[in-house]
Structure formats: structure tokens, C-alpha cells
Amino acid sequence: MGYDPSTYERAPENEENTLNSTQNTDESSTISLKIVFAVVGLLIGIALGYGAAQLFTDNSEPVPIEIPIDKSNNDKLSKLQTNLDQANSEILILKGRLTSFDETKDLLAKTQNNLDEINRELLKSTNKFNTYEKTIEDLQNELIDIQADLTNANERINELLTVESPPANPAMPMDPEPPAADPAPDPEPAAAIDEKIALGEIKLVYGTSLIPILDPTPIGESITIETEITNISDERITTSWLATITDADTGEFITEIFVFNIQVDAGKSATLGNSWTPTYAGQFKIEVVAVDNLADKNPLSLTQSKVITVG
């Protein structure tokens, strides 16, 4: 066997390394055991402490801790809550009243608009009425003038128709009086009226009202003359209503007023009439009769008459 110097020199180096490794291993094992023992001791201490605590601890229930509450604050809070509730209630009431007030205000506005519209319509109607009244007044004035002209014309005609006897001449002998004429025969009795209309009494009122006229009645006041007619026949009749007005003192014809071509069924009644305005004072006779028509004037009823005084 030969000698290898490299091998001889390395042997101590390996031994030294082995020794170092052994020392390191022992040191690590020693540290790990210390830690384990420390942990185990700590756990045992905890267990012993817990057991001692269980032995010396009282099992009675926990004592509740009362926190003092200031009752005066509760009263104040309750009072504030009550006041708040009352305030809310009053607010609700005020809201309801405000709503009612708004509705009433709207209703008043609508009513005011309606009143304004009615006032405008009333103003228009008043203007029309005034126009009609003025027209009627003008027509009445024209009628008065026409009646005056007719009166003058009638007087003139009467004057022309009157023949005056020539004055007697004393120098001429008087003509012998003619022999007395034979007495005139008695007038024939009036033909009996075929009465088919029953005529009621004459009613006199002012205008279109129901106010009876005064006695005496004033000049220029319109008088409505009316009567009720009743068909007493068995068939439908067409009749005309005729009123004749004359001066009661002189018998002078004043005017005629009428309603014509009125149809009345058997057994039925109707009220007919027309108006007349006296133009001067005096007494006037009013005669009303129902006739078949205004051309022939054959009476269908008896005549009703009444005398009035104007002054």
C-alpha cells in the first residue's frame, strides 16, 4: 500500500466538522425543550387559576345597577309632547278651515260673476223695456191725435149734414100746415138672438194688472175691459169680442175695441178683453157683445153694459 498524503491530511478536517455538527444539534435540542416546558407550565398555571377562581367565586345572580332618572325631566318631556300634539291638531284644524275658506272664496267669485252677468242682462232688458215704453207712448200720442182728428171730422160732417130752415118772411103768406100724418106703425119686435155664447159681467182693471179702476178714474190712464165668454152650444164656435164706447151724456160714439176669430170648444170658457185710454173727463158707456164676425156683427150673446166716470 502506498501513502497518500492528501488522504492523511483530510481526516482531522472531517472530524472537526463532525464535532461542530454534533454541538449544533445538541444546542438546538436544548432550546426546543425549554420552550416546550415553558408553554406546558403556562397552561398548567392557567388551569390552576381557573379552578381556584371557580372555587372562590359566589354563584349568586348579578346585582342590577339602577341608573337614577330625573322624573322632572320626564314630566317636562310629556308636557312638551302634549303641547306638540295640540299644536299639530290646531295646524290640521287651520288647514281644514283654510281649505273651506278657499272653497268659499271660489264660490263667492263664481256667484259674483253670475251676478255681474245677470246685471248685464237686466240692463239690456231695461234698455229694451225703455225703448218699448217710449214706442208705446209715441203710439198712444199718435192715437190721441188721430182720435182728436176723427172727432173734429165727425163734427164737421154733422155740420155739413145739418140743413138749416130759411128764416120766415112776414110779407109772404104762411103755408097752411100739412095735415097730420098717419101714426107710424108699431116697430117690429127685435129678432130673437140665437144665443150661443154666455157673456159674463164686464171687469175693468188698470193696464195688465189686476187692480180694479177707481171711481172716478183719472184721464189718460189705460183701462183694460174684459169679460168671460162660455160656449153654451153643442159645437165648436168661432166668435169675435166687440166693445163699443160712447159718451153717456151725448150718445156720441167714441171708439170700438175688439178681439176677433176666437175659437171656443163646446162647454169651454175663455176671458177676452182689450184696452182703452180715456182722453177727457165725463161719463162713458161701455157695451160688450160676442158676434159671429166683425163684418156682419150678428150677435151670439146678450149685451153687457157698464157706465164709468172719468175725471
Cα–Cα dist 1/82, whole Å: 122
Q: Is residue 182 part of a domain?
A: no
Q: Is residue 181 part of a domain?
A: no
Q: Is residue 259 part of a domain?
A: yes
Q: Is residue 190 part of a domain?
A: no
Same domain, 119 and 209: no
Q: Is residue 263 part of a domain?
A: yes
Q: Which residue carries 149685451 as its cell?
A: 303
Which residues are bridge partners to 306 per DSSP? Answer: 286
pLDDT of residue 15: 47
Is residue 169 scored above 80 in pLDDT? no
Residue 243: which of 150, 308, 196 has the closest Cα?
A: 308
Helix (H) or strand (E) holding 160: helix 71-161
Same domain, 218 and 151: no
Q: Is residue 7 part of a domain?
A: no
Instruction: Tell whether the torsion through CA atoms of 145, 146, 152 and 156 is positive or negative.
Output: positive
Among 38-42, 90-94, 233-237, 268-272, name the one with the lowest average pLDDT.
38-42
Q: Is residue 52 part of a domain?
A: no
Cβ neighbours of residue 2 under 8 Å, at least 6 residues apart?
none
Is residue 305 scored above 50 in pLDDT? yes
- Over 216-282, what HEC string results? CECCCCCEEEEEEEEECCCCCEEEEEEEEEEECCCCCEEEEEEEEEEEECCCCEEEEEEEECCCCCE
Return the half-sphere exposure (C-beta side, CA atoms, 13 A cut-off) of residue 71.
0
Which residue, 161, 184, 205, sits at the end of a domain? 161
Same domain, 78 and 35: no
DSSP 100-112: HHHHHHHHHHHHH
User: Nine-digit cell at 183?
Assistant: 101714426
Same domain, 156 and 239: no
Q: Is residue 170 part of a domain?
A: no
Same domain, 139 and 202: no
For 244-259, how does the pLDDT look when each residue is reduced to its tens digit (9 = 90+)? 999 999 999 999 999 9
pLDDT of residue 31: 56
Tell me the percentage of the chain whose pLDDT exceeds 70: 71
Q: What is the mean pLDDT of residues 274-300?
A: 95
Q: What is the mean pLDDT of residues 149-169?
A: 64
DSSP 49-100: HHHHHHHHS--PPPPPPPPP--HHHHHHHHHHHHHHHHHHHHHHHHHHHHHH
pLDDT of residue 298: 94
Same domain, 223 and 153: no
Number of domains in the chain: 3
Same domain, 135 and 85: yes
Q: What is the dihedral of CA 147, 150, 155, 156, to 10 degrees?
A: 150
Same domain, 148 and 208: no
Same domain, 270 and 216: yes
Work out the number of other CB atoms within 10 angstroms of the CB of residue 109: 10
Average pLDDT, the chain: 79
Angle subtended at Cα 209 by Cα 208 and Cα 212, rounded to the nearest 5 degrees: 120
Residue 254 structural domain: 197-310
| CATH number (domain holding residue 276) | 2.60.40.10
Which residue, 135, 161, 187, sits at the end of a domain? 161
Same domain, 85 and 145: yes
pTM: 0.42
Same domain, 134 and 29: no
User: Nine-digit cell at 138?
Assistant: 209715441
Residue 261: which of 277, 284, 237 has the closest Cα?
A: 237
Same domain, 39 and 140: no
